[in-house]
Amino acid sequence: METTTGTFAVKAGLAQMLKGGVIMDVVNAEQAKIAEEAGACAVMALERVPADIRAQGGVARMSDPELILKIMESVSIPVMAKCRIGHFVEAQILESLGVDYIDESEVLTPADEEHHIYKHDFKVPFVCGARNLGEALRRVGEGAAMIRTKGEAGTGDVVEAVRHARTVLGEIRRIQNLPTEELMAYAKNIGAPFELLLQTVQLGKLPVVNFAAGGIATPADAALMMQLGVDGVFVGSGIFKSGDPAKRANAIVKAVTHFKDASILAEVSKNLGEPMVGRNISQMPESEKIAGRGW
């Protein structure tokens, strides 16, 4: 049979299938099942959620393959896993496990402070974080098949997620109105590959699917990001660090589907129990922020 695997179309295509959905951080098979039962469109398998990585400190690395495999066996939905920025051997290991997506993530401690992974070399697709259009298009240039705005992971404070989504989407709106001759200088100024910038102008959106992440903790937070114009959301610590994870997870899934319907949003926001405690980013020292990781 004449077939081809690992093409950019199938890599970017899986992200298309995740749209309008919620990708949830899980640390074991039991949580993965709760996430699937609540309606998650995928799970992110990791040893510690970002809030715990923050609290415990130290070097954060790729999770134990055994843990990732157990999570893969426990659910039928796609399973993602994180590798460190620039750590292409962690990525090779994750690919060999058969994970469905790799997140080259600033939440883990970077392995390279200048270079990201050359992602076109892999059959498995990658998602990468971005705070602005230049960063997003550099990642796509390296082969990322999906982008997520970074936010500030493990805080439960949505302010950075809003800032980054508004920045990326605002820049895309701005370049729609630039005369063509100004696009080269614009590409130079934001450090974006010119051809990808042109493609973004033509499409009126990023060339790949764009989710929001980093600090989303409530159904209202998730619907806010959707109304700002992202394609779906990642929820990390916000679910399993809350009082009633199953109920909150299901409420956030419903909020992403019905993001424009305020009466449904009100209904699903009722009686969710305690949200994650959260950290106020405006009072956080610069040294503790992780969104700046990525080059």
Residues of this chain that bind other proteins (CB under 8 A): 1-7, 9-11, 13-14, 16-21, 36, 38-42, 76-78, 95, 98-101, 123-125, 253-254, 256-258, 261
Of 38 and 108, which CB lies nearer to other proteins in the complex structure? 38
Of 98 and 170, which CB lies nearer to other proteins in the complex structure? 98
29: number of Cβ within 10 Å: 17
Of the candidates 10, 49, 2, 32, the residue with the CA atom closest to the CA atom of residue 241:
49
Residue 42 CB, nearest approach to other proteins (Å): 7
Phi-psi region of 211 (alpha: psi -120 to 50; beta: other; left: phi over 0): beta
Residue 100 CB, nearest approach to other proteins (Å): 4
CB 251 within 8 A of CB 219: yes
Residue 98 CB, nearest approach to other proteins (Å): 5
Contacts of 85 (CB under 8 A, 6+ apart): 104, 105, 106, 108, 110, 111, 112, 116, 117, 293, 294
Amino acid making up residue 271: N
Please give the backbone phi and psi of residue 209, each rounded to the nearest 5 degrees, phi first: -65, 145
150 assigned to active site: no
Residue 70 CB, nearest approach to other proteins (Å): 15
Of 169 and 192, which CB lies nearer to other proteins in the complex structure? 169
Distance separating alpha carbons of residues 294 and 173, to the nearest angstrom: 24
Q: Which of these is catalytic: 11, 33, 70, 82?
A: 82
CB 240 within 8 A of CB 31: yes
Of 178 and 203, which CB lies nearer to other proteins in the complex structure? 203
Active site residues: 82
